Structures are given as structure tokens and as C-alpha cells.
Amino acid sequence: MARGQYESDAAIHAVSPTFCPKPYTWGRYKILDPPTYFLLAEFREIGQQPPEPIRFTSQLAEFHKKSVSPTGKFGFHTTTCHGKAPQLTDIWEDSWEVLYYKQLSQAFELNRKKHPAWPEFDFYASLILDQCVSRLLGPLQSEGRSIKPCLVHGNIWDQNTATDMETGEPFVFDGSAFYAHNEYELGNWRTARHRLSSKTYIKGYKRYFPASEPEGDWDSRNLLYSLRFNLHASTLIPGSNYREHVFEDLKELCMRICPEDAANFKSKALDAENDSNDGEEEEEEEEEEEEEKEKEEEEEEEEDRGTWSGQEEEEKVTLD
């Protein structure tokens, strides 16, 4: 985790020194239990968080444009983390679709291990991986289109970007970097819990770095990218309602990209619910019939006892 942040901030600083504090070193304390690590970096006094939109988005876009992947591929040379959650970054792929598929699969798996079973959630997750990823990311690198692997911070939100109190310039820190589609950076801005979700920041960024083609898919790609951030948030904070929000986003994206499959699942779920209700009704009817039968048998036994008692009384009178 400490190494990932060091390597992330070092890569960002190398591209744009004013945009990220210089990390000097990282390491492990001599104490063995618990394992404790440190990161030593340049000090900057934090001002406004997040920074003023126009200057911040222009410098972020410029940083993305200036960055160059050392391999020409998507990925990174080491593992980086979103909070404490490890990201699948230490691989290189020519295809952004392939890399993001692997990363999102890992995010779903980490999330599944932290929460109780939820079949409906898993169904929509499988649709996202099997259909939505290829439908939305495949066209970025097909039919003559291409995208550049850009170095991204990887987890920009309100509390790890700020205005430098000395220079007045915006900067970022606490990186989770790798080379990605530049639009991935904005996936974390979609959620309403961040002030960066303001349309001012989104519009500002797109003014300096226009949407990739097909431009009409931009919002759906943004929703797809937001899933990975929110899955990690749900994994790291199990008692939150983040997973429920992710579930709603899964359904929304599936209804946009593969509505028939999503609708068929809803229909099957409804049929199963109806079958379950029918079964419960049948069980209730059978229980009522059984109770009625038992009641009739009890009444017959009572009548028999009354008849037997009358016969005994008659015999006693006769004998007397």
C-alpha cells in the first residue's frame, strides 16, 4: 500500500511537478507487530478543498495529455490501492476493454467476499461484465478509433485534492495511479457524496479534454467507471448503504445496454415469486382442509361417546 502510493505520486510528480508533492521515500518501521509503514513527501499547506473548478480541471486535463505510458499500454508497473483495497494494476494490456474487465471483475470479487450472498446483485454484475463492458469500451479502440493510455491519479475526491496555500495552485496527492482511459478519472465524481460531482467540474474538464468517440456513450461509460470506485467504497465500509447504491447503478446500466436480458430476469423473478406465493396458498389450503378434517373426526368421536353413554344408561335401567 505504501509502495503503491509512493510509486503513484512519483509518477504523477514526474509528469507535472506542481500538480503533486514530490515523494522522497517509503519504508517499514523496525517494529514487527503490528507491521507499520511510512511515506515521506514534500510538505504543502492545504487550502480550499476541492480547488476552484476551472483551474483545477484545466491542469488535470493537461496532466493527462502530457503523460506517456512507458510501454504504450494500459496498466502500471506495480500494485496500487484504493484505500486499503488492492487494485489490479501491475499488468500491461494493449486493450483498455480487457484491462478494465479484469479490474472490475476483481472489484466484484473483493466486494462479494465482504457481504452476504445476493443472487440478484450477482446476476446484474454478470451482465455488466459479459455485455456492458464490451459494448461500451470496445468501440473506443475499433473502426479506426483509438485512445491514449493516460496516467490517472486513480482516486480523486474532495479530500485528496486541494489548493496550495503558498502558490494558489491546485494539486493532488495520495495517488492510486495507473495508465488508463482518461475518462476513468471522472468516474469517482459521479456520486453525490462528493462535491466534485458538481456539473461545473465535469463540464470544465470536458472543455479541455473532449469526450472520446463515440461521444454519445460518455455518460454510460462514466456510470460504468463509477462502479469500480463505489464497489471499493462498499468493500471498505461494509455497514454503509453503498452496496445498495451500486445495485441501483447496475440495474440502470443494464437497462440502458441490455434491456431485454434485464427485463427477462425481472420476469423470471416475478414468476418465481408468483410460484412461491401459489405454493404458500396451496399449503394454507391443505392446512385448512386438514384442520377441518380433524375437527369433523373430533365431532364424530364426541357423538360416539354420547351414544355409548346413552346405551350404558339404558342397560343400567333395565337391570335395575
Residue whose C-alpha is closest to residue 100's, from 87, 112, 113, 109:
87
Give the per-residue pLDDT at 301: 62
Query: Is the pLDDT reported for residue 219 higher than 70?
Result: yes
Q: Exposure pattern of 194-210 as b/e (b: 16+ CB <10 Å)?
A: bebbeeebbebbbeebe
Query: Is the pLDDT reported for residue 7 higher than 50?
Result: yes
Joined grid coordinates for residue 282: 396451496
* % of the chain beyond a pLDDT of 90: 78
The mean per-residue pLDDT over the stretch 93-99 comes to 98
Give the per-residue pLDDT at 292: 74
Residue 50: burial class (beta carbons within 10 Å; 0-12, 13-18, 19+): buried
Residue whose C-alpha is closest to residue 86's, from 76, 95, 96, 94:
76
- The set of residues, in sequence order, having a beta carbon less than 8 Å from that of 276 and lying 6+ positions away, is none
Joined grid coordinates for residue 192: 453525490
Q: Which residue bears the cell 499488468?
A: 91
Q: Where residue 304 falls among pLDDT bands split at 50, 70, 90?
A: low
Q: Where residue 269 falls among pLDDT bands split at 50, 70, 90?
A: low
* Contact by Cβ (8 Å): 177, 154: yes
Q: Where residue 34 falls among pLDDT bands split at 50, 70, 90?
A: very high
Joined grid coordinates for residue 33: 507487530
Percentage helix, strand, coil for the chain under 3-state DSSP, each rounded to 5: 60, 10, 30
The secondary structure of residue 178, as a DSSP letter, is: E
- The set of residues, in sequence order, having a beta carbon less than 8 Å from that of 49 and lying 6+ positions away, is 158, 159, 161, 162, 163
Summary mean pLDDT of the chain:
89
CA 121 vs CA 125, 225, 244, 248, 305: distances in Å: 6, 17, 9, 9, 62
Give the per-residue pLDDT at 257: 96
Give the per-residue pLDDT at 314: 45
Provide the sign of the torsion angle of the four alpha carbons 211, 216, 219, 222, taken in this order.
Answer: negative
Joined grid coordinates for residue 204: 470544465
pTM: 0.83
Q: Where residue 238 falls among pLDDT bands split at 50, 70, 90?
A: confident
* Sequence-ordered strand ranges (E) for the chain: 23-28, 37-41, 74-75, 81-82, 85-86, 92-93, 150-152, 161-163, 170-172, 178-180
Distance CA 57, CA 245 (A): 27
The mean per-residue pLDDT over the stretch 210-236 comes to 97
The secondary structure of residue 184, as a DSSP letter, is: G
Query: Is the pLDDT reported for residue 177 higher than 60?
Result: yes
Residue whose C-alpha is closest to residue 221's, from 243, 240, 237, 206:
206
Distance CA 268, CA 123 (A): 12
Distance CA 110, CA 106 (A): 6
